[in-house]
Amino acid sequence: MQVTCVALQPHGLTMFATSRFAFLPYLFACLLGLFALCGFWYGLGKPVILPDAATATHKLQCASYTPFDKDQSPFDVPLKLRPERMDADLALLATRFQCLRTYSMAGLEALPDLARKHGLKLMIGAWVNSNPVDTEKEVDLLIACANANPDVVSAVIVGNEALLRKEVTGGQLVKLINKVKGQIKQPVTYADVWEFWQRHPDIAPAVDFITIHLLPYWEDHPWNVDVALSQVAAIRRSFGSMFAPKEIMIGETGWPSEGRQRKTAVPSRENEAKYIRGFVAMAEKEGWHYNLIEAFDQPWKRGSEGAVGGYWGLFDADRQDKGMLAGPVTNVPYWKEWLAVGGLIFLGTLILGGRVRNTRSALVLPLLGALAACSIGAWGDMARVTTRFASEWLWVGLLTALNLKVLAHAALTLSARTGWRERAFNLLERRAGWLVATAGFAAAVMMLEMVFDARYRSFASMAFILPALVYLCRPVSVPRREIALLTLIIGAGIAPQLFEEGLQNQQALGWALVSGLMVAALWRCLRVRTR
């Protein structure tokens, strides 16, 4: 006896049909899959409530500002910064901050007048590098701007992390600082990572105050966001004693909202908001001077710092509030859209599978659809924020297409298969070895990158969950020598990448688990005899 459920009448196709004994398991699996899909995306995207840092009556001290559009970078030639962009930016930032910090003089001629218009102070910076001509030009513009705008320019910064980049010596830097001090009335400082002030204490007598950078995520031994504030406080207090009576300013501090985990430091919007709001409360209680990095996300930084470099902003590159200073914050702001995409993948899996083969297939097909909806969506969301170059977008497209083909192959394997489904299955079945080889090759490439060049790369675990599980459960015939080599590469890389990342890195553990599943799937495929 046959039971038919949800017929697609225009084409006369049956979405699901099987014996009455399999209908209830199928319905249960559908409900379970939908529950898992909704729970997955809501769990990632649910809003988190934290104490506000900024309010309508409470402005914060200072934020780093570069007026680039989302498709611009400081390397553009010629560099064209739009005054109308700066005007809109300063109007927005004036509602939250008292001052802005800049890093270079190039293209910022209109900024002092706009800052005056919006009631903002400026800490202007000259970009110091290994080219003495460029440096001299920056310093001369800095001096001229400070003298022309004494009511707006509250302090000047001669160089940013030039010692860290090893572009100048301490002696050269002192000469530049003294040159500026001799020609302006505002306080003069130099800004660098806190360790470099310890290595170059000879610079301290030349500056009017010390500017240190405290970025817990980028430490050699990264700190978890829950302990980062106490570590920052300890360093700030030690500098207060070390360089007394000079004032200490925390010239950069912040937390990334996207990107790869380092040790126990996890980038996320929730963690960025937690750090920023906690730091502001602590700094204002202690009476510290501070500058937050940074006002807006800078996509161009992803090219040099990996995906994480582009997501230190309090607002995104489109000038939308990320919720870092006030109000609820969500780690995945587009979770509803991804849930809708996941729903389509889930429904498409059921339609593609059609009438299932047996009771076990009735249970597995909806769960397969839910797994694909979660993994492909999570991979897509990660790619949205981490992909930097055209070649990487091509890589994303290829892995997404691979996942969809694997999903189709698995769904048709569970199907009773008649007509076009039988023809589609036969086509994919003949190419199954190619699908496995492609997944294995991609996983091997990613593993080599995570072992030898991991600092600026993200963990692509979600791109490989589906092919690993599908071909672990149903191995297919593959080219033996090639797959054996890929299996060896992936398996051999698991321990070194875990050693490098540390066992407290959940993203690294996830990658190790998925890699282990891929190794097991490839191994099982190697044991299938050629048909």
Per-residue pLDDT tens for 76-85? 888 889 999 9
Indicate which CATH number applies to the domain containing 95.
Answer: 3.20.20.80
Pair 245, 355 in one domain: no
Specify the DSSP element, H or E, that contains 292. Answer: strand 289-292
Phi-psi region of 434 (alpha: psi -120 to 50; beta: other; left: phi over 0): alpha
What is the pLDDT, as a whole number, of residue 116?
98
Statement to judge: residues 304 and 398 lie in one domain: no
Q: Are residues 371 and 434 in the same domain?
A: yes
Same structural domain for residues 428 and 295? no
Could you tell me where the DSSP H helices lie in 287-334? Answer: 302-305
- 82: which 2 tokens? 């739009």
Asked if the bond preceding 286 is cis, omega within 30° of 0, the reply is no
- Say if 480 falls within a structural domain: yes
Q: Does 325 map to a domain?
A: no
> With 50 as the cut, is the pLDDT of residue 171 above it?
yes
**Would residue 324 count as lying in a domain?**
no
Q: Please give the Cα distance from 473 to 434 (Å, whole number).
A: 17
Q: Are residues 413 and 389 in the same domain?
A: yes
Q: How many Cα neighbours within 13 Å face the side chain of 224?
A: 6
Residues 267 and 293 in one domain: yes
Question: Does 322 fall in a domain?
Answer: no
Q: Are residues 373 and 509 in the same domain?
A: yes
Is 397 within a domain?
yes
Percentage of the chain surpassing pLDDT 70? 96
What pLDDT, in 10s, does the model give residues 380-405? 999 999 888 888 899 999 999 999 99
Confidence of residue 54 (pLDDT cuts 50, 70, 90): confident
Mean pLDDT of the chain: 93
With 70 as the cut, is the pLDDT of residue 18 above it? Answer: no
Specify whether the CB–CB gap between 257 and 269 falls below 8 A. yes
Report whether pLDDT(15) > 80: no
For residue 42, which amino acid is it?
Y
Q: Give residue-wise pLDDT tens across range 173-231.
A: 999 999 999 999 999 999 999 999 999 999 999 999 999 999 999 999 998 999 999 99
Percentage of the chain lying above the pLDDT 90 cut: 88
Domain match, 214 and 136 both:
yes
Neighbours of 79 (CB within 10 A): 13
Domain co-membership, 272 together with 410? no
Looking at the fold, whether 36 and 138 belong to one and the same domain comes out as no
In the numeric block, the tokens 């990658």 are attached to: 511
**In a shared domain, residues 23 and 96:** no
Number of alpha carbons in the 13 Å side-chain half-sphere of residue 312: 24
73 in the same domain as 204: yes
Residue 469 domain boundaries: 2-46+333-526
